[in-house]
Amino acid sequence: MIRRVLGRLARHDLAAPIALALCSRAMVVMLLVGLQAVATGLRDALSVFAAWDGWWYAHIAMSGYHATPVAHGLAGQPLYDIAFFPGWPALLSIVSLGGRLPLDLVGGMLANALFVAAIAVAYRAFAPRFGRQATLWGLAFLAFTPAAYTFSLAYTESLFLLLAALALQPAASVGRRTLCAVAASATRLVGPAVSLLALAGPLRERRRPTLAEAVLLVAGPLTLVAWFAAIALITGDPTGYLRGTPSFFAGQDAPFGFLGLLSSRSIVILPQIALGLGMPLVGLALLVRRRDIDLALFSCGTLLPLLVSQCDSMPRYALAALPAWVVLGTVLAQSRHRRPLLFASALVMALQTFMVVAGRAVP
């Protein structure tokens, strides 16, 4: 009976992408928990899931947002929780039953589960367009890229990836994409990239957007405006958002943007640049070359903010460009170097995971 069930599961169309996602998460989780246990002991091993930004999301899920600083940075600057978007902490609060369940454990389990779901949904979205083998290879490089360890932390990356995959389904209605645009824009600053999908049809067919497409086009930006308005109400300051993210970089001499990568003071190592940033940029070029307008628009919308992003976090931000990663499979699936390159990428991811747990790198 068990063999029969396992046999059916192995033959299922989603067996390979789900197995791929589970293997990558098992590797990362074992590294995260194992290294943290060595550093702090078994009792605090699970706290690794809510480290760095994860702590802020857990804090918001437990106590909401505040007009006053919650902590202070290394330079003594005040740090505000309004720097973090509300979508992920809201979901954390719901799943943890308002904080009754341990938020570090819930955040880690939820992030990993959402990543597995996102890979399965993405496979269904792209396999008809790129082919099964190419899609699997593209997703493999996404799952094992150096910054992919963040998909296992209590961060927004996994939730955003799932929303992107749902919006990019070939048969997705404009209504579904509008809902995804709203949810994604409540989760990440690049959420309005989903709204750019409204332009694909009009550009391809050289026509004006329909009413539904116009609604999709403004849904993401309006969600951002609503969030900024909410911050203004919380802080009593119309420019309240400027107290958020900018405060984390005040007093720091951290490089920003692609030009910052050329700085000798940048801690972003060369393999991360090549694998974490170079590959999605190549993928974007491939999408443009293939004239996949919808996927190119979305990828461009997620990669464009890298021009002004802090260098340390650029590889993580590039994970949002889902189609740019998957389309790489159309080239890599035919390359004899694909396996060594994937192994090298996984090795760098393991090294980066160690550096983060050791406090030598910022997620």
pLDDT tens digits for range 18-69 = 999 999 999 999 999 998 888 787 777 888 888 888 899 999 999 999 888 8
Judged against a pLDDT cut of 80, whether residue 121 lies above it is answered with: yes
Return phi, psi of residue 310, to 5°: -70, 135
Q: What is the pLDDT of residue 5?
A: 43
Which one has a higher pLDDT value, 47 or 330?
A: 330
Judged against a pLDDT cut of 60, whether residue 7 lies above it is answered with: no
CA torsion through residues 290, 293, 295, 296, sign = positive
Judged against a pLDDT cut of 80, whether residue 361 lies above it is answered with: no
Mean pLDDT of 321-337: 93
First vs last C-alpha separation in the chain:
44
Report the chain's mean pLDDT, rounded to a whole number: 87
CB atoms within 10 A of CB 144: 25
Contact criterion met (CB below 8 Å) for 307 and 345: no
CA torsion through residues 200, 205, 206, 209, sign = negative
Judged against a pLDDT cut of 80, whether residue 3 lies above it is answered with: no
Among the residue ranges 71-75, 200-204, 338-342, the one predicted with the least confidence is 71-75
Binned at pLDDT 50, 70 and 90, residue 310 comes out as low
Binned at pLDDT 50, 70 and 90, residue 269 comes out as low
Indicate the SS3 state at residue 160.
Answer: helix
Distances (CA, A) of 98 to 91, 147, 156, 160, 254: 10, 30, 18, 22, 36
Q: What is the pLDDT of residue 85?
A: 94
Mean pLDDT of 287-315: 86
Judged against a pLDDT cut of 80, whether residue 272 lies above it is answered with: no
Contact criterion met (CB below 8 Å) for 114 and 161: yes
Which candidate, 293, 350, 289, 285, places its Cα nearest to that of 324?
Answer: 285
Q: What is the pLDDT of residue 198?
A: 96
- Angle subtended at Cα 285 by Cα 141 and Cα 137, rounded to the nearest 5 degrees: 20
Judged against a pLDDT cut of 90, whether residue 226 lies above it is answered with: yes
pTM for the full predicted model: 0.91
Which candidate, 325, 309, 282, 290, places its Cα nearest to that of 125?
Answer: 325
Q: Which residues contact 171 (CB under 8 A, 6 or more apart)?
A: none
